[in-house]
Amino acid sequence: MLSAQADRVMALGEWEERWQEDRTGWHQPQVHKMLENNIEKVLAGRSQVKFFFPLCGKALDMKWLADMGHSIVGVEISEKAIKQFFEENNLSYSEEMVPALPGAKLYKSSARNISLYQCDLYNFSSAIEGQFGGIWDRGSLVAINPRDREKYVALITSLMDKDCRYLLDTLLYNPELYKGPPFFVPDEHVQNLFGKSCDIELLHSIDALTDRQKAWGLDFFIENLHLITPKTN
- Enclosing H/E stretch for 205: strand 198-207
Write the single-letter amino acid at 141: L
Q: Between 25 and 50, name the one with better pLDDT.
A: 50
Model confidence at 15, pLDDT cuts 50, 70, 90, reads: low
pLDDT of 27 strictly over 60: no
The mean pLDDT of the chain is 93
Work out the average pLDDT over 174-182. 94
Model confidence at 25, pLDDT cuts 50, 70, 90, reads: low
The rounded distance, in Å, linking the Cα atoms of 216 and 219 is 9
pLDDT of 21 strictly over 90: no
The rounded distance, in Å, linking the Cα atoms of 65 and 70 is 6
pLDDT of residue 163: 97
Q: Could you give the percent of the chain with pLDDT greater than 90?
A: 85
Q: Between 33 and 6, name the one with better pLDDT.
A: 33
Query: Which residues on neighbouring strands pair with residue 194, listed in sequence order?
Result: none
Q: Which of 141, 218, 224 is nearest to 187 (CA)?
A: 224
Q: What is the DSSP letter of 82?
A: H
Give pLDDT tens digits for 33-62.
999 999 999 999 999 999 999 999 999 999
pLDDT of 229 strictly over 70: yes
Where along the chain do its domains lie?
A: 12-19+32-230
Residue 183: phi and psi, rounded to 5, are: -95, 155
**What's the CATH fold of domain 12-19+32-230?**
Rossmann fold (3.40.50)
pTM for this entry: 0.94
CA distances in angstroms from 83 to 73, 94, 191, listed in the order given: 15, 10, 36
The rounded distance, in Å, linking the Cα atoms of 222 and 210 is 11
SS3 4: helix
Give pLDDT tens digits for 71-86.
999 999 999 999 999 9
CA distances in angstroms from 212 to 14, 27, 137, 144, 208, listed in the order given: 20, 13, 21, 20, 10
Q: Could you give the percent of the chain with pLDDT greater than 70?
A: 95
Q: Is 57 left (phi over 0), alpha (psi -120 to 50) or beta?
A: left
